[in-house]
Amino acid sequence: MNIASRIRRSFFREKKEYSDGNILKNGSSVKEEGKDEILGVTDELIDHVRSFTIDTFKNFSLEDEEEEVSVSHLGDDDNGMSSSVNVKKDLSDWQEKHAVLVLSKSKELSQLRFKLCPRVLKEHQFWRIYFQLVRKLVAKYEVLAIQQAKIRRMAMEDSKTSETKGVYEVEMSKTKQRLSTGPATP
């Protein structure tokens, strides 16, 4: 599935979720306000994005990054044969949510994307350039989201471990009971 269709689907899903939220004075929902901040879509970011032009994206050099992203890596398989692996970077979940939200908040960026993709740039190039241009403004939010995801994942692993531990304890106590009562007599 390509990036454009994922973003489109996410946009409509987000729109549906926002429709049942509480409405504030300016027409945005309470849930939306918190989500904007978590995803790094601030007034400062929107102002920065409004300064982008078609030339901003056309003149941005992706050559160095293209080499890093589509590097051919020679490695050994299990059977000793070498293989070529193309590394493809896509948007992370956080970046995808951020992209959907910023497109809904900034009409200018949405129009730029419409003019540039796919005639001038491919969708993934557009978003790589965008995230390079806003890197300083959104980096702390992305790091925070990664940290929160890691904490959630660790908590889930801990709960699974404790559930499994409980199952083993029950099984062990049943086994001890059978052993202490002696062998079954017919």
pLDDT in tens, 52-65: 999 999 999 876 55
Q: How many independent structural domains does the chain possess? A: 1
The pair of structure tokens assigned to 100 is 């959907």
Neighbours of 99 (CB within 10 A): 23
Whole-angstrom distance, CA of residue 17 vs CA of residue 19: 6
pLDDT tens track for 121-132: 999 999 999 999
- Asked, for residue 123, whether it belongs to a domain, the answer is yes
More confident residue, 181 or 36: 36
Averaged pLDDT for residues 143-154:
92
Q: How many CA atoms lie within 13 A of 110 on its CB side?
A: 11
Query: pTM of this prediction?
Result: 0.62
Instruction: Kindly tell me if the per-residue pLDDT of 149 is higher than 70.
Output: yes
pLDDT of residue 15: 53
Triad 85, 62, 69: Cα angle to 5° = 15
- Asked, for residue 122, whether it belongs to a domain, the answer is yes
- Give the domain extent around 154: 40-58+90-159
pLDDT tens track for 23-39: 444 444 445 667 778 89
Among 10-24, 103-117, 136-150, whose mean pLDDT is lowest?
A: 10-24
More confident residue, 150 or 84: 150
Whole-angstrom distance, CA of residue 36 vs CA of residue 100: 11
- Asked, for residue 136, whether it belongs to a domain, the answer is yes
- Asked, for residue 79, whether it belongs to a domain, the answer is no
The pair of structure tokens assigned to 170 is 């029950």
- Asked, for residue 148, whether it belongs to a domain, the answer is yes
- Asked, for residue 182, whether it belongs to a domain, the answer is no
- Asked, for residue 135, whether it belongs to a domain, the answer is yes
- Asked, for residue 52, whether it belongs to a domain, the answer is yes
